[in-house]
Amino acid sequence: MFSYINAVLLAIVSHKKRNGSNVNDIIEFINKYFQNNNIRENYLRFVIKKMTKNGELVEKNGLYKVGMLAGNKKLKHKIVKPKKQSNNAYEESKFPYGKPNIPGIPVLSAGDDAQAAFYIQIEELFTKVPLAFMHAKHFEDLFKQMYDKYGNEKYNLYALKFSWLSELSKLRNIRIAEKINIRLVKLGEINNKSYRYVVTSGNYSYLLAKSDNFTEARDLGINVDMYLNDTNDDEEVAGCTTDWCLDQTNENGKASDSISLLIDKDDRIWTVLIIRGFAPGIGNLAIAGGFLDKKLNGTTESYIQGAKREQKEELNGVKFSITAEKYTLDVKTITDWDFRPKFPGMTVGGVANVYNYRRC
């Protein structure tokens, strides 16, 4: 995926060729051309991380910055070496949601525009951690297929619970989309421009009032309130009204996601999720995935190809020690999937790889 990060890196390469590689000049360049606070902060962190040499950072004005790059001998700053973590601290930092009982389980690392990657038990998704977008719909699809194949009632129960999470995800997305539309009215007045608003399948207040407080979902042990919590909405709205999100197209966006499901030696079911670095879904846990890319011959990659590539990019090509049982997830066109005003809607496919270590 050619992302904002790619664009920024190309701009920095060009800037360095013309003006040298003084890190302060590069940071000034980013501040000048990327004025959205959330995006700029992510760029700075990403670029600083990429430019750090040998784990050494320089502290200046309360921020960590690289002290000197590529032959600039004039900058003199105190070098601050990061403290070495103990083995226990390192282990805990890599498995904040617990660790599957799988011998030799690989430590995950994030790539592309993902901030981090973790293993997490499926049960946590019903009680502690909401999913971004409509990713619950993919899990609902997967567990329905697994139930049809194996007849395991646990899979049927998971499919039911994820169907409720799908409804809650849609409701949250509609709420944020309505707030984005309010912002678009104001932006249109400022810019003397007309923007196409985000289309939703319903009205948030009406759907919430109609929900009967999601009694059945609560009875199933689902934490409904984590999807009704609106404390992150402002950050989402700001991130979804950037120039890229307002570069509107007339066709649906096409994306593909990749589920990795692991059944450990204790018969516990885990999945792999990333933390998203940009809105929409900024700071939320999500499946590895992204938009389908154009090939060199002008055709667009398939949903299976896109899911495989995104999994490799965002999870740095993690490999598991056994062969996966593969499932193709239904291609879904859902207006409320993604609340970027860029697209009139989203068409999303996906694949799921299930690794059963209990049978090993």
Q: Answer whether residue 113 is part of any domain.
A: yes
Say yes or no: 139 and 261 in one domain.
yes
What total number of domains does the chain contain?
2
Same domain, 155 and 52: no
Three-state DSSP at 254 gives strand
Determine, yes or no, domain membership for 91. Answer: no
Q: How far apart are CA 85 and CA 301, in angstroms?
A: 42
Tell me the CATH number at 114.
Answer: 3.90.79.10
Packing angle, helices 37-51 and 4-19, rounded to 10: 60
The pLDDT tens digits of the residues spanning 177-193 come to 999 999 999 999 999 99
Considering the entire predicted model, what is its pTM? 0.76
What is the average pLDDT across 294-321? Answer: 92
Is 23 found in the same domain as 102?
no
DSSP string for 66-102: -S--TT--S----EEPPPPPPHHHHHHHH-TT---S-
Query: Does one domain contain both 75 and 128?
Result: no
Buried b (16+ CB within 10 A) or exposed e, 138-158: bbbbbbbbbbeeeeeeebbeb
What is residue 39's predicted lDDT score, i.e. its pLDDT?
Answer: 60
352, pLDDT greater than 50: yes
What distance lies between CA 123 and its chain's CA centroid? 20
Question: What digits encode the pLDDT tens for the residues 206-258?
Answer: 999 999 999 999 999 999 999 999 999 999 999 999 988 999 999 999 999 99
Asked whether residue 347 is domain-assigned, the answer is yes
Q: Are 326 and 303 within 8 A, CB to CB?
A: no
Contacts of 102 (CB under 8 A, 6+ apart): 262, 264, 265, 357
Asked if residue 152 and residue 25 are part of one domain, the reply reads: no
Same domain, 74 and 117: no
Q: Within a domain: residue 56?
A: yes
Residues 163 and 76 in one domain: no
Q: For the sheet containing 63-65, what is the strand order?
A: 63-65, 57-60, 79-80
Helix (H) or strand (E) holding 57: strand 57-60
Q: Residue 50 belongs to what domain range? A: 4-80
In a domain, 85, yes or no: no
| One domain, residues 129 and 277 | yes
Stretch 343-360: mean pLDDT, rounded?
95
Q: What is the pLDDT of residue 296?
A: 80
Report d(CA 295, CA 292) in Å as an integer. Answer: 10
* 87, part of any domain: no
Look at residue 73 in the predicted model and tell me its pLDDT: 43
Are the CB atoms for 222 and 164 separated by under 8 Å? yes
Q: Check whether 127 has a pLDDT greater than 70.
A: yes
Instruction: Answer yes or no: do 172 and 248 share one domain.
Output: yes
Q: How far apart are CA 108 and CA 119, in angstroms?
A: 8
Identify which has the larger pLDDT, 90 or 25. 25
Residue 51 lies inside a defined structural domain of this protein: yes
- Kindly state whether residue 90 falls inside one of the protein's structural domains: no
DSSP letters, 118-139, are EEEETTHHHHT-PBSTTHHHHH
> Long-range pairs for 312-315 at CB < 8 Å and ≥24 separation?
313/1, 313/111, 313/112, 313/288, 314/110, 314/111, 314/112, 314/113, 314/114, 314/117, 314/274, 314/288, 314/289, 314/290, 315/108, 315/109, 315/110, 315/111, 315/114, 315/117, 315/260, 315/272, 315/274, 315/288
Structure tokens at 314: 């965002």
User: Based on the domain organization, do 326 and 296 belong to the same domain?
Assistant: yes
pLDDT in tens, 27-52: 666 666 655 555 666 666 655 555 54
Q: Is 13 exposed, middle or buried (0-12, 13-18, 19+ CB in 10 A)?
A: exposed
Number of other CB atoms surrounding residue 193 within 10 Å: 10
pLDDT of residue 202: 96
Q: pLDDT tens digits, residue range 56-89?
A: 333 333 333 333 333 444 434 444 454 554 445 5
Domain match, 114 and 75 both: no
Residue 105, token pair as written in the block: 């389980």
Continuous H helices in the chain: 4-19, 23-33, 37-51, 87-94, 124-127, 135-150, 153-191, 204-210, 215-219, 225-228, 233-239, 243-246, 303-314
Phi first, then psi, for residue 277 (nearest 5°) are -90, -15
Q: Do 267 and 122 belong to one domain? A: yes
